[in-house]
Amino acid sequence: MSESRPEDLLRLEHDGPVAHLVLDRPGKLNALTLAMIARLDALCGDLEADHGTRAVVLRSTSTRAFCAGADVHEWSALGAEGMWRRWIAAGHRVFARLAALPMPTIAAIDGMAFGGGLELALCCDLRLAARTARFALPEVKIGIVPGWGGPARLAALIGASRAKQMALTGAPVDAPTALLWGLANEVVEPDALLGRAAALAAAIADGPRTAVQVTKQLVDAAASGAPPAILDALAAGFISGTDDLAEGVAAFREKRAPRFNRN
């Protein structure tokens, strides 16, 4: 039986101001192929141009796996040059594009998030985990290394020592440990995962778009070492001229809920 089209394996669905990036390759535990990476690239382009989307949920149709990582059968056949030029470079570029989306992103993780699947989740701003979720960088067990920025993003999130423990042993970390380490923002029961992710995305989407997106950029820039005093001053100057700020101040003075622009 032939493989489904990339647009069937990774698709974009909309629920008002919230978009859902849906991984749908359950028979292969959502293992990522080059075609799926190219599809993610195209969908990121769609989101960049979509001013109506205020938040994004990245999720799976399978409870067994958020994403089991890169498709070993595909990358192992590429050879050294193909591995670097096609696999590593493409993954880095597209994952960086996902991380840089203007709107906040939430990964809803059930089952395994291993290898490239964990690296994919690390590109999101927030990670919600089902209690049954497991996280790992298992590449060392088959004599390779993580190739899509996982060690750097993981170390920035949970610290170098814990990142080394995961990368050097390849052993999975369960959801409660992920929460304790700061890898997961919240842990919920499996049947509550998608509802909680949708609710959190809706709460973010209900806020003023410019302030939300600038705040995301502030945090990302500060995490990269930019001076926060300069960042905050520039951001405040930019925000000061927006209609959303005027509405927020008026609502505060009038003791009512703000009515932010939804266009």
| Percentage of the residues of the chain whose pLDDT score is greater than 70 | 85
**How many C-beta atoms surround the C-beta of residue 105 within 10 A?**
23
Residue type, 220: D
Q: Tokens representing 89?
A: 């470079």
Beta bridge partners of 101: none
Spell out the per-residue pLDDT of the chain, length 263, in tens.
456 777 789 999 999 999 999 999 999 999 999 999 999 999 999 999 999 999 999 999 999 999 998 887 776 666 655 555 667 888 889 999 999 999 999 999 999 999 999 999 999 999 999 999 999 999 888 888 888 889 999 999 999 999 999 999 999 999 999 999 999 999 999 999 999 999 999 999 999 998 899 889 888 888 877 666 656 666 666 666 677 767 766 776 777 788 877 76
Question: CA-CA distance, 28 to 248, in Å (whole number)?
Answer: 47
Question: CA-CA distance, 249 to 146, in Å (whole number)?
Answer: 47
pLDDT at 1: 43
Question: CA-CA distance, 130 to 67, in Å (whole number)?
Answer: 14
pLDDT at 238: 64
Indicate the pTM of the whole model: 0.88
Residue type, 75: W
pLDDT at 247: 72
- DSSP label of 151: H
Q: 């999101």: which residue's tokens?
A: 124
Quick one: which of 70, 77, 19 has its CA closest to 46? 19
DSSP-derived 3-state class of residue 46 = helix
Quick one: which of 61, 217, 198, 229 has its CA closest to 125? 217
pLDDT at 250: 78
pLDDT at 170: 95
Question: CA-CA distance, 228 to 239, in Å (whole number)?
Answer: 16
Q: How would you label 189-218 residue by residue, b for 16+ Cβ within 10 Å and e otherwise?
A: eeeebbebbbebbbebbebbbbbbbbebeb
Contact of 191 with 172, CB cutoff 8 Å: no
| Distant-in-sequence, close-in-space partners of 263: CB < 8 Å, separation ≥ 6 | 51, 52
pLDDT at 84: 58
Q: What positions carry a catalytic annotation?
A: 119, 139
pLDDT at 221: 85
